[in-house]
Chains A and B, each alone.
Chain A
Amino acid sequence: MWNIPPLTISLTGILFLILVYRLVRQRYPDIHPFALYHQSYIAPVRNSEESAVYRSTLTPFTYPLISGLNIREGHSFRDGDLRDIWNFAKKGKLGFVNKKGDPILYHDYDIELTPLLHTVASRFNEYVPGIKKIGIYLPNSIENVVTSFAAAHYSMETVLLPLVSDMGEMSRYLEISQPELLIFEAGVLDFTQLSLPESIQCLIIVVPSIQDHLEWKDQLDENVGSSISVRTWEDVVSSVSHPKTVVDAPEGALTEPAIIVPYTATNGKIELATFSHRNIVSAVATQLRVVPKSESFKSTDIVIPLDSLQNMYTRIMFFSALTAGATVVFCGTTSEGFDVDTLQTINPTIMIVSSKSLHHVLNYTPGPLTNLRLKRAQGILASGNLPWPVLRLFPKLRLIYTHYGQLPWQRQTKSSRANDKTGSLTSAQLSLLRALLGARVVYALTNPRIAGPICQTHIYDYRNLGAVRVFGPVVPALEAVVKDIEHLKGGDRQGHLFVRGLPTADRGWITTNIVGEWGDDGCFRELY
């Protein structure tokens, strides 16, 4: 008979148990690696001096690009507009946290916000008869949301003024966009330096409730001419009782302008991007389709837009959250900062955040134990699964939306790429974020003339491709090519990015001022 020592038997037993454990606990990656390396459909024919047309795998060639929300009406479907987004939003709640430690204050759509919206619209019409353009210079707040949706319901255009502190720049934004009414927060605009365009007939000042609003009003009256009437938000919402009957909103055409965004182009010129309802709904519908239903915005989600809603990307993401009926909570803190305490009281599941703010998380220096956990988390990411968060900051956080608006022009050296101060995130940094926060990260490439992203990371793409900025495939509402520029050849899939589709502010192929290349995997990326 065999005489096997007990040590060998027990070691074999242990090994067997480990193998069984591996077999039982084996997790398949969230997505098959093959899909990660075939993220775009590429046209088989290309024009000379440009690459082939790239499309999302959700909208293959010969299929229509995403055009709208596909709202069922009887036997037909329609694309919808901003008013439909408001109706969808009624499934959820809109919350607001004023300052650190405060509880979330929820606002009800049917009882509070919808009547408020109609009141605001009728008051604005009273102050400026036949009003067409409303300038908004507000932080993320109820006033901001109500004003923009009031405008959308009554065929007015909303001008989203970037939250800049330079009053000269602000004057130029006002000059080019020509709003008739300007709504802003008390204390942020310096009227001694700001020159108002002649179109402005009314100023509406939003005063924090604690402060005396009359004081602010008197101060303003001194600085602006008598031809401009000055009101406070309190006047708008309380001076007259709510209209008894809800005014029927005029039937707006989908191509009518809804949101206007002035911006400074890369050449320093100030330009206007005008987005119609159609541009916006196609971008919103894209966001709800591009991510699988199980991962997308849901009515159970708590969404925090940390970036400013004056920014078109954040606003499209906000609209997408509303359309899905998610609960959206604004925090009173600034957009640049990352106030962990306030965020923890809200306990978000989805964050819409600027890439600059995410650098606050990346700057965290791990201790020896967290280093080991980080190593484990990165291993799990490499095998295609999402790890538990290394930093237990937000226990329910599952998804982070972030974006970047430019791509450096010239080929960069490794060191200049590492010291990049623009707040862009490399693939390695995104991977680190996933490990630290235990959440999926969707990184988008944006342009001021396009509603929503141009390209964005696949939600299950956890690959760490090193110190290079990778933006994923083009979104399913757009198709894209790169064209020859300087020494770069479109035939080598390198060059100047052009896109076409419904979310663009202009028709046809539009230039993006972004230079990059298509990788083998079908993702748009910075040039090596």
Chain B
Amino acid sequence: MVDLTVIQNYYRSISSSPSHYISYLNVFLAIFSVYLMYRIVFPPTSPNGQVLNAQQQAKQNPQPVVYTKFTPTTLQPFNGIVEERVLMAVKGKVYDVSAGRSFYGPGGPYSNFAGRDASRGLAKGSFDEEMLTPIDGPMDTLQDLNADEIQALNDWEQHFAGKYLLCGELVEQL
């Protein structure tokens, strides 16, 4: 039989002394140093946190919207209430004005124009309901505008083209 008491006594002596903790600390320090040195010689081949972060961000890129032909009927839901996006037609071109939601969205001063052909209203500088072309009627040809109104409309068009995304066109029928 092996006499275990010698070993037991040894462990008892080191666990009761303060150097017990020191020796654990030494082991930890040694292992940590060796690990750090290993990592200096052989950097990890797996992507680091910064790379993973960039990878995650790239996945969240916004999806491009499809350039669409709208009729007055299919455009109407895009007023910020039925559909989340706010669209608006100016001179046959449809702009996504969601970025200017406070103006064109529900409750905004121009909310009448959301989902509608805004050409006549912009030309005449009026935001009233009667400026809008009826949904089921024929499209506004804008033939009766005078020179000043045409100028005003063209200025508005430039403003929209510079600020908002051109995402489609307004046609009578598909």
Residue of B19, B44, B64 near A43 (CB, 8 A) is B64
Known: A37-B58, A378-B45. A46 touches B40 (CB 8 A): no
Residue of B19, B50, B62 near A33 (CB, 8 A) is B50
A11 touches B45 (CB 8 A): no
Stretch in A1-9, A110-118, A289-297 with 4+ CB within 8 Å of B: A1-9
Stretch in B27-35, B137-145, B148-156 with 4+ CB within 8 Å of A: B27-35
Residues on A with C-beta less than 8 A from B32 are 15
A283 vs B53: C-alpha distance when bound (angstroms) = 35
B58 touches A11 (CB 8 A): no
A34 touches B57 (CB 8 A): yes
B2 on the A face (CB < 8 A): no
B159 on the A face (CB < 8 A): no
A11 touches B30 (CB 8 A): yes
A44 touches B64 (CB 8 A): yes
Known: A44-B62, A48-B67. A379 touches B44 (CB 8 A): yes
B166 on the A face (CB < 8 A): yes
A residues within 8 Å of B by Cβ? Answer: 4-5, 7-8, 11-12, 14-15, 18-19, 21-22, 25, 32-34, 36-38, 42-48, 51-52, 375-376, 378-380, 382-383, 464, 491, 520-522
Residue of A5, A38, A51, A520 near B22 (CB, 8 A) is A5
B66 touches A48 (CB 8 A): yes
A491 touches B66 (CB 8 A): yes
Known: A8-B22, A12-B29, A375-B42. A37 touches B55 (CB 8 A): yes
B45 touches A18 (CB 8 A): no
CB distance from B167 to the nearest CB of A (A): 5
B12 on the A face (CB < 8 A): no
A42 touches B44 (CB 8 A): no
Residues on A with C-beta less than 8 A from B37 are 18
CB distance from A399 to the nearest CB of B (A): 23
B40 touches A21 (CB 8 A): yes
> Which residues of chain B from 9 to 39 have a CB within 8 Å of any chain A CB?
19, 22, 25-26, 29-30, 32-33, 36-37
> Which residues of chain B from 58 to 75 have a CB within 8 Å of any chain A CB?
58-59, 61-62, 64-68
B26 touches A45 (CB 8 A): no
Known: A11-B33, A37-B55. A382 touches B47 (CB 8 A): yes
Residues on B with C-beta less than 8 A from A8 are 22, 25-26, 29
Closest 6 CB pairs of A and B: A379-B43, A52-B64, A37-B58, A11-B29, A33-B54, A520-B58
B residues within 8 Å of A by Cβ? Answer: 19, 22, 25-26, 29-30, 32-33, 36-37, 40-48, 50-51, 53-55, 57-59, 61-62, 64-68, 165-167
- Determine the residue in chain A with the shortest Cβ distance to B51: A33
B42 touches A379 (CB 8 A): yes
Residues on A with C-beta less than 8 A from B25 are 8
A297 vs B95: C-alpha distance when bound (angstroms) = 45
CB distance from B126 to the nearest CB of A (A): 30
A36 touches B54 (CB 8 A): yes
Residues on B with C-beta less than 8 A from A19 are 36
A148 vs B25: C-alpha distance when bound (angstroms) = 75
Q: List 17 A-B contacts (CB under 8 A).
A: A7-B26, A21-B40, A22-B36, A33-B55, A34-B57, A37-B54, A37-B57, A37-B58, A45-B65, A46-B64, A46-B65, A51-B64, A382-B43, A383-B43, A383-B44, A464-B45, A522-B58
A48 vs B41: C-alpha distance when bound (angstroms) = 52
Known: A11-B33, A19-B36, A382-B46. A38 touches B65 (CB 8 A): no
A45 touches B42 (CB 8 A): no
A376 touches B22 (CB 8 A): no
Known: A376-B42, A382-B43. A47 touches B67 (CB 8 A): yes
CB distance from A464 to the nearest CB of B (A): 8
Known: A37-B54, A45-B165. A22 touches B33 (CB 8 A): no
Most buried by B among A33, A42, A379, A380: A33
A322 vs B62: C-alpha distance when bound (angstroms) = 42
A22 vs B22: C-alpha distance when bound (angstroms) = 26
CB distance from B131 to the nearest CB of A (A): 28
Residues on B with C-beta less than 8 A from A21 are 40
Residue of A36, A47, A51, A520 near B59 (CB, 8 A) is A520
Residues on A with C-beta less than 8 A from B61 are 42, 520
Residues on B with C-beta less than 8 A from A382 are 43-48
B167 touches A383 (CB 8 A): no
